[in-house]
Amino acid sequence: MRVNLKEVETRYFHPATISSAALYNMPSKKEGWNFKWRELTKIEGAYFYKLCLNKSPDKVEGLIMMSIYFDEMVFMNNLELAPHNIGKGKKYENVAGILIAFGCRFSIENGKGNYQGFLTFESKTDLIGLYEKKYGAIRTLGQKMYIDPIQGERLIAQYLT
Partner 1 sequence: MRKKNHEWEDEIIGLGSGLINPNSEDFRGLREQIETYSSQVSSTDKMQIKISGIKYRMETYLNDPSPKQVIPVGKFLEDLIEIIGVYHKDFATYIGINSSNLSALLKGTRRFNRDLVLKLGHIFNIDPAIWLNIQSKGDIWAAHQENSANYKQYKLNDLLNKAG
CA atoms within 13 A on the CB side of 155: 31
Q: Which of 5, 21, 61, 117 binds partner 1 (CB under 8 A)?
A: 117
d(CA 148, CA 111): 12
Query: What are the phi and psi torsion angles at 78 (to 5°)?
Result: -145, 150
d(CA 77, CA 124): 13
- C-beta separation of 158 from 99 below 8 A: no
Q: Which of 21, 53, 81, 98 binds partner 1 (CB under 8 A)?
A: 81
How near is the Cβ of 126 to partner 1 at its closest, in Å?
Answer: 7
Q: How many residues bind partner 1 (CB under 8 A)?
A: 59
Residue type, 62: G
Stretch that binds partner 1, among 6-14, 50-58, 117-125 (CB under 8 A): 117-125
Q: Which of 85, 91, 98, 159 binds partner 1 (CB under 8 A)?
A: 85
User: x-or-dash pattern for partner 1, window 50-79, by CB under 8 A?
Assistant: ---------------x-x-xx--x-xxxxx
Is residue 21 at the binding interface for partner 1, with CB under 8 A as the rule? no
Greatest pairwise CA separation for the chain in angstroms: 45
d(CA 111, CA 109): 6
CA atoms within 13 A on the CB side of 49: 23
**Which residues of the chain form contacts with partner 1 (CB under 8 A)?**
1, 34-36, 40, 43, 45-46, 65, 67, 69-70, 73, 75-81, 85-88, 90, 95-96, 100, 105, 108-111, 114-118, 120-124, 126-127, 130-131, 134, 138, 140-144, 146, 148-150, 153
